Amino acid sequence: MATRKTAVEPETKLYRSISEVSDMLEVKPHVLRYWETQFGMLRPKKNRAGNRMYRPDEIKMLLRIKELLYARRYTIEGARRTLLDERREESPQVELGFDHAERQMLLFEVKEGLRGIVARLRTRSAGAVRESEPTPVG
């Protein structure tokens, strides 16, 4: 029986695909691609196949962008200016924003791990039910 590799690999996974990041942020992949065009500081690497691969710092930046746009209702231009100001100042506010992003990333990884455990438990319990059922005599 082949085991499915879970998406959760805390701190060992250097890059995440656009679909993983999209799930993590709960936005569509096209939104991430659009943000890449609007925020110059966001430059994910691309693998040989041309697929975007996001590093942890870029994921934190995306979480901050989402917070500014969705929770605080900034315009794209306002969010861009805020991020640039925060980078220049390196004030405690930046740290608060990224602390929140780190917690979000950790919560996502924990949820993914729990989903994997539940799936394995369901598979095992389904197998145990099948084993306890009487086998038909033919």
pLDDT given for residue 103 in this prediction: 78
Quote the CA–CA distance of 127 and 35 in Å, as a whole number. Answer: 45
In this prediction, the residues of the chain whose per-residue pLDDT falls under 70 are: 1-12, 90-99, 128-138
Which residues lie across from 17 on neighbouring strands?
53
31 inside domain: yes
Residue 97 inside a domain? The answer is yes
Q: Is residue 3 part of a domain?
A: no
Please give the residue range of the domain that contains residue 29. 16-131
pLDDT of residue 4: 41
Q: In the chain, what are the helix, strand and coil shares in percent, each to the nearest 5?
A: 65, 5, 30
Residue 24 is assigned to a structural domain of this protein? yes
What pLDDT shows up at residue 45? 92
Exposed e or buried b for every residue in 53-74, given b needs 16+ CB within 10 A?
bbeeebbbbbbbbbbbbeeeeb
Query: Is residue 101 a part of any domain in this protein?
Result: yes
Q: What is the CATH number of the domain that holds 114?
A: 1.10.1660.10
- Give me the pLDDT at residue 136, please: 62
Predicted TM-score (pTM) of the model is: 0.60
Domain assignment present for residue 10? The answer is no
Number of folded domains in the chain? Answer: 1
Q: Is 2 inside a domain boundary?
A: no
Q: Is residue 5 part of a domain?
A: no
| pLDDT for position 125 | 80
Q: For residue 103, which of 67, 75, 70, 78 has the smallest C-alpha distance?
A: 67
Sign (positive or negative) of CA dihedral 73, 75, 78, 84: positive
User: DSSP labels for 111-129?
Assistant: HHHHHHHHHHHHHHHHHHH
